[in-house]
Amino acid sequence: MKNHSLKQLLDERKLWRGQQLRPRAAAGDRICTGFSALDTALHAGGWPASGSTELLGEYGIGELWLLMPALREHLSDRAMAWLNPPYLPYAPALAEQGLPANKLLLVRPKTLADQLWATEELLRSGAYAAVLSWFSKANLNDRQLRRLHIAAQEGHCWHIHFRPADLVQQISPAPLRLKLSAANQALQIHIIKQQGGHAGQQIRLERPSALYLQQTAATSWPVYSAQQEPQIQRQTLRKISLLAKTNSSAIFASQDDVSHTIASGKEQSH
């Protein structure tokens, strides 16, 4: 094995000192988050264009809303894959956000071994700009996490790995790890780890006012009634319209909701 001096390793950027910040990533190696405060806090100046990014927190607190600006920009020429999302992605809401259904792939492996294999193959294929993954076994070991990160680098794919918040203390090869938590009318972001830059920063992103509306069961939604006052009707319809366009949680829907939507579309087409 060829011997390398410490100076040579540092000069070739194969080794870096913990107290020395790396240069900012080139424009082609990062993706603008769409939030200036977050771009400033991230040493790369945005999301990494390839490799694993871990988002740790509860599901449904605004994590998809946080990703939407970058995903819209990043999907200009390649598709995106969803692997085992907790709920079925709702195609009309995604299309409203600029993510057309013909560029989205949904994969639902049943076993952990199949999940790991499918994710690694998708990441390494080079066919996908981004792969979003949720694993049935959240506490993956270092070897499993490292294989996914390396596959994403080889395929120049952005791997967005959603994990529970209680795994914050687990060692992970992912260069960027963020903890997300719901705040009052905002999303709180805590930078747990970022390659070449400082960690510990906390960013608060205010969410659109339409997202403050509580989502309720469809059976309790207000419906049009001739007995309602015209002003109340307009306000109700406006709230429903804003919620459908901006609420990231609407991107997920149950199978029954999707089946009903498809059936309604068929009836209208006849």
Q: Give me the half-sphere count of Cα atoms (radius 13 Å) on the Cβ side of residue 4.
A: 11
pLDDT class of 234 with cuts at 50, 70, 90: low
Q: How far apart are CA 182 and CA 184, in angstroms?
A: 7
The alpha helices in 50-209, defined as continuous H runs, are 63-74, 91-96, 112-125, 142-154
Number of residues in the chain? 270
Contacts of 140 (CB under 8 A, 6+ apart): 116
Q: How far apart are CA 178 and CA 192, in angstroms?
A: 5
Closest alpha carbon to 52 in 152, 124, 133: 152
pLDDT class of 218 with cuts at 50, 70, 90: low
5, 42 Cβ separation under 8 angstroms:
no
pLDDT class of 33 with cuts at 50, 70, 90: very high
Name the CA dihedral angle for 27, 180, 258, 222, rounded to a multiple of 10 degrees: -120
The predicted pLDDT at position 263 comes to 43
What is the average per-residue pLDDT within 205-227?
60
- 185: which 2 tokens? 């009318």
pLDDT class of 8 with cuts at 50, 70, 90: confident
Name the CA dihedral angle for 255, 215, 209, 249, rounded to a multiple of 10 degrees: -30
Beta strands in the chain (DSSP E): 30-31, 47-48, 51-56, 79-83, 88-89, 104-107, 128-134, 158-163, 176-183, 186-194, 202-206, 252-253
Average pLDDT along the chain: 78
Q: Is residue 189 exposed (0-12), middle (13-18) or buried (19+ Cβ within 10 Å)?
A: buried
Q: Has residue 182 got a pLDDT over 70? A: yes
Greatest C-alpha distance within the chain: 85
What is the average per-residue pLDDT within 144-162?
96
- CATH code at 18-210: 3.40.50.300
Q: Has residue 22 got a pLDDT over 70? A: no
| Token pair 């939030």: residue | 35
CB atoms near residue 267 (< 10 Å): 8
Highest mean pLDDT among 136-140, 164-168, 256-260: 164-168
Closest alpha carbon to 219 in 177, 183, 256, 185: 256
What is the average per-residue pLDDT within 106-131?
95
DSSP code at position 168:
T
Highest mean pLDDT among 4-18, 20-34, 76-90: 76-90
The predicted pLDDT at position 213 comes to 54
* Exposure b/e, 25-36, CB count within 10 A at least 16 = b: beeeebbbbbbe
Q: Has residue 172 got a pLDDT over 70? A: yes
pLDDT class of 114 with cuts at 50, 70, 90: very high
Q: Has residue 38 got a pLDDT over 90? A: yes
- Kindly list the domain boundaries of the chain, sorted by start residue: 18-210
